[in-house]
Amino acid sequence: MNKGVGTVKSKELVELLKKRLPNEDYEWQYDEKTDKLRLEHTGLNKGMEISLPEIIRKYNQKKEVAIDEVVYTIDATFRAMEIEKMKGFKGQSTIYPVIRSASFPEQTSAGQRFVMKDHTAETRIYYALDLGETYRLIDESMIEELGKSTEEISEIALFNVRSLSTKMKKDEVAGNVFYFVNNNDGYDASRILNRAFLANMETKIEGDMTVSVPHQDVLIIGDIRNKTGYDVLAQMTMQFFTNGTVPVTSLSFVYEEGHLEPIFIMAKNRVARKKGKE
């Protein structure tokens, strides 16, 4: 029995992806029992597994945009594998941290555990080997070839994130000020780990300072000067979260003296705080 729901079914989704990715090196294996797609690259002797229900949910919300996102992810993954096969990892020193939700998988489809670190109650830090047009999340199988310990990987990543541009756009809504970091380099949300940048921003904030990473390609800093500002922030982060290619969290954080505390913005401008890990 086909398990698809809504406006597109699983088998139909697989056919849509095949049309968008007409690569003769791809071998498609759809398992009806698990409702998962296994995509093998015969030229690389490697593959990836895709859960179809999650894509269907996004397709029902965003239609073709959801397909674009999956196609991008597949292309980027196999490009990274091709670069890995040609060059290996030795000599690669460009490592950056990437922010993911706390529910993001902790291991690869092959069972290798990612190198990662707790961040807040809502977010976790992973580490990426930058390969130019794409990047590869570092897992434990790569540590020996990289010639670095997990502590060194973390230190290098945090050092490198401080070198990234913090150029921002500024917008004012209902007396509140919002700053957007959106360089589309894959590491916009990672700027949340640049402590010097956040500390400097804190000196410019007149109201409550909030920090949001609704998806990986944006960092939003809020200067919340009145109660309406929290409602604006909630709507803004949810919109970014829904439309992001790699969503992280729809919650925002209050920033105070180097600490990030997740907050829930409820009806009638009420704000509840949720104790985080940082």
pLDDT (mean) for 86-109: 78
Same domain for 175 and 266, yes or no, is yes
**Domain for residue 206, yes or no?**
yes
Same domain for 234 and 143, yes or no, is no
248 pLDDT higher than 50: yes
Same domain for 47 and 111, yes or no, is no
Residue-wise pLDDT for 220-235, tens only, equals: 999 999 989 999 999 9
Helix (H, G, I), strand (E, B) or coil at 13: helix
- Return d(Cα 66, Cα 60) in angstroms, integer: 9
- Return d(Cα 13, Cα 59) in angstroms, integer: 9
Number of domains in the chain: 3
**Domain for residue 178, yes or no?**
yes
Q: Tell me if 270 sits within 8 A of 253, measured CB to CB.
A: no
Question: Of 143, 161, 179, which residue constitutes the final position of a domain?
Answer: 161
**Domain for residue 237, yes or no?**
yes
Same domain for 178 and 252, yes or no, is yes
- Return d(Cα 223, Cα 9) in angstroms, integer: 44
**Domain for residue 1, yes or no?**
no
54 pLDDT higher than 90: no
Same domain for 72 and 145, yes or no, is no
Residue 161 backbone dihedrals phi, psi, to 5 degrees: -65, -25
Question: Of 161, 182, 202, which residue constitutes the final position of a domain?
Answer: 161
Helix (H, G, I), strand (E, B) or coil at 248: coil
Same domain for 104 and 61, yes or no, is no
**Domain for residue 5, yes or no?**
no
Same domain for 69 and 19, yes or no, is yes
Q: Tell me if 189 sits within 8 A of 213, measured CB to CB.
A: yes
Residue 134 DSSP label: S
Same domain for 29 and 74, yes or no, is yes
72 to 76, 116, 132, 204, 205: CA distances (angstroms): 6, 24, 15, 38, 37
pLDDT the model gives residue 108: 81
Burial tier of 122 (Cβ tally within 10 Å: 0-12, 13-18, 19+): buried
Same domain for 57 and 118, yes or no, is no
**Domain for residue 53, yes or no?**
yes
65 pLDDT higher than 70: yes
77 pLDDT higher than 50: yes
88 pLDDT higher than 60: no
Same domain for 196 and 262, yes or no, is yes
**Domain for residue 3, yes or no?**
no
Question: Of 51, 67, 86, which residue constitutes the final position of a domain?
Answer: 86
Same domain for 137 and 204, yes or no, is no
Same domain for 138 and 62, yes or no, is no
Q: Tell me if 24 sits within 8 A of 42, measured CB to CB.
A: no
**Domain for residue 82, yes or no?**
yes
pLDDT the model gives residue 101: 92
Burial tier of 49 (Cβ tally within 10 Å: 0-12, 13-18, 19+): middle
For 107, the domain range is 95-161
